[in-house]
Amino acid sequence: MNTRMRNPIFGFLISVLLLIVFSVPTYAADTTYVGETPSGIPYDRLEQEIDSYVNSHIGKSTPGAAIVVTKGDKVIFSKGYGYANIEKKTAVDPANTVFAYGSINKAFVWTSVMQLVEAGKMKLDQDIRAYFPEEFAKKLRYDKPITMLDIMSHTAGYEQHPLSTFTPSAENLTSLEETLLSSQPQQIYEPGKVIAYSNFATALAGLAVEKVSGESFSDYEMNHILRPLGMNRSSGHPMLGDHPDLQETEAIGYAVKEEGGFEARAHFYVPLYPAGAMEGTAEDLARFVMALNVPDSPLFTRPETVQSMLSRSYTPNEEILSNAHGFWEYRAEPHVVGHSGNVKGFSGNFAVVPDEQLGIVVLTNTEIEQKLTSGIINLLVQYKTKAPEIKVPAADLSPSGKLAGYYVQSGGTYTTYHELINYLGLIKVKAKGEHDLTLSVMGLSGVLKQISPNVYKFDKSDDPRFERLAPILYAEISNGQVVRLSKGIATDILPIKGSRSIPALICYLVLAAIAVLFFILAPLVMSMRWLIRKRKGSPSASAAHRLLTAAIVCGTILTVHILYLLANALINENVTVGQMNFGVALNWVLAILVGMLIALSFVKGKHQPESKWIKRVRIGVGVLYSGFALLLANWHFFHFIP
């Protein structure tokens, strides 16, 4: 074959290979399918519309993605885009590429619970303490029962445990019951009152499934959901113990670099595995979605069970979309529910439109990805043009001035020194005119317009991310006081008050700044004074002065250690409870040592001649340290983590 003949053929083959690499369809859109999506896209244009949208983001927001659309019990679109492995140039295949599902796993927990409810073995309104040992109940703060409905709506009242959701080694994994009892967070809200997203509570529901069924949760999941649906390329086992072959086709998870491009994420494990350890393919997840859409679902014996599961079970206000037995309600017409997932290196989302038997699955191999995981679902279920809103007379609206102030998110840690992190991202709310609001957080700002009494809807912002942050808010008012601002999903926004009010926070900040500056700079000043005294041949300092110097040095060590703990809490994902408690113990030792040295310095100073300046310095150090120690205690730096 001559060269001129080979080059065109070679070029053609390369172009075909590139097409295969960047777009691997298993099913094309069924062009014979009539009708259109809820957003108005004709089904015979489904592939063109999805391709156009995905191609503008693939390689930018994520290296790879798999998208599947179902109608009834049929897959009408299935396609892979980009790379599952950038280095090896492995194409994404929706039938074979294995992604981490993340919190999508929670939908399988709720399905398991509803199966047991249907079988008469569980009740949604039963106190969950009936399923667990007394050791669990002793750690609850409120006597009010926690029900399975509370867990499903994330209103069980738990704070986040400071321990990372992930662990780098399988050696750190224990049984689900042991993991839950050893890392039980504090219950800081009354059940049913505040939405605070909880992986712990979800895993607790998984343990309830274990106790009632007599099977481990991963076995129950496999035997009653995955295997019956033919999900043969999925596993909920925390180590893929029931499906080790899936490791051969796992996608590499990535994070987006600040300078652009992607960096691979290390492999991880999820100790609270029912909350987010599941892995599988996009087409397997589509089988689950189809089972939720068909009237004769193989998951349940009665059609009304799945209908009930996908209907609203909780909302803070009837005008706010919220929760359907653990599934989140999405902003669309007709009624749409689903669940997203995000873990290290992976993001995903799925949506179910029961009235149209439509299902959508989007999986990507990049963490915190939203351009596709949210964008594709919005593309298919949200109307392009907004329906005209019914205007409520201004006289019927509530004055927004009472909402002005600062807020924090409910879904944080508030009983350990990690509480401080929540206040690094305060949410500022200001009244705009008589009835509207301006909300600002972490550099984002937007306007929310009151559409009915105490219900505020996103109006405008310079940053498109703001609408995802606060699409709608309901202001719950009780006895003239703001209880919470709720968007109905994941986490509420709570007003700061009392010892965490803005005046108090300013006082804390001033005291902390003075103490940190003093204990960082004082050793330098003392060293310089010591060198000067040594050169001049001055007599050595008194015992009282040496004790005070030792106290200041120990105070410096304590200050540096506090800063280290905070930095570690912010950036170290692999710190253990043992390491955190060692830090707390060291705080105790250093704090007591500083106090004792200052006290001894006062005692010695009474019996030795000293200048007034030295006495004033000692008093100043004593007062400053006392305030600093009280500040540390107030922010839980002496509180051991259970």
What pLDDT is attached to residue 83? Answer: 98
Domain segments of the chain: what residues? 99-248+260-276+285-334, 394-496, 500-634
What DSSP designation does 206 have? Answer: H
Say whether 394-496 and 99-248+260-276+285-334 share the same fold: no
Least confident window among 18-32, 571-585, 600-614, 627-641: 18-32
The answer to whether the predicted template modeling score (pTM) of the entire model surpasses 0.85 is yes
% of the chain with per-residue pLDDT over 90: 78
CATH of domain 99-248+260-276+285-334: 3.40.710.10
Amino acid at position 324, single letter: A
257 band by pLDDT with thresholds 50, 70 and 90: very high
Mean pLDDT for the stretch of residues 450-467 = 92
**Confidence at 32, pLDDT banded by 50, 70, 90:** low
Instruction: State the pLDDT at residue 539.
Output: 65
Q: Quote the DSSP letter at residue 225.
A: I
Predicted local confidence at residue 20, as pLDDT: 31
Q: What mean pLDDT comes out for the span 455-460?
A: 94
How far is it, in rounded angstroms, from Cα 404 to Cα 495?
9
pLDDT in tens, 317-357: 999 999 999 999 998 889 999 999 999 999 999 999 999 99
| 149-179: pLDDT as tens digits | 999 999 999 999 988 889 998 988 999 999 9
Which pLDDT belongs to residue 528?
82
What Å distances lie between residue 572 and 166, 186, 564, 565, CA to CA? Answer: 11, 22, 11, 10
Q: Model confidence over 517-561: pLDDT tens digits?
A: 999 999 998 888 777 776 776 666 788 888 999 999 999 999 999
CA torsion angle 565 570 572 574 (round to 10)? 100
What confidence category does residue 13 fall into, taking pLDDT thresholds of 50, 70 and 90? very low
CATH topology for 394-496?
Lipocalin (2.40.128)
Q: Name the average pLDDT for the chain.
A: 91
**Among 147-161, 401-415, 416-430, 524-538, whose mean pLDDT is lowest?**
524-538
pLDDT of residue 139: 87
What is the phi-psi region of residue 604: left when phi exceeds 0, alpha when psi lies from -120 to 50, beta otherwise? Answer: alpha
Of 71, 80, 91, the C-alpha closest to 360 is 71
Whole-angstrom distance, CA of residue 28 vs CA of residue 43: 11
Task: Return the pLDDT at 579.
Answer: 93
3-state DSSP call for residue 521?
Answer: helix
pLDDT band at 61 (very low <50, low <70, confident <90, very high): very high
Q: What is the mean pLDDT of residues 65-84?
A: 97
The per-residue pLDDT for 615 is: 84
Residue 30 pLDDT more than 50? no
Please tell me which residue, 384 or 531, carries the higher pLDDT value.
Answer: 531
Say whether pLDDT at 27 is over 50. no
| Average pLDDT score over residue span 448-466 | 93
Give the start-end residues of each E strand in 46-131.
64-71, 74-85, 90-91, 99-100
Q: What is the pLDDT of residue 632?
A: 98
Mean pLDDT of 20-49: 71
pLDDT for 262 beyond 70: yes
**Pick from 61-70, 276-285, 609-618: least confident:** 609-618
Among 27-31, 302-306, 426-430, 484-488, the minimum mean pLDDT is found in 27-31
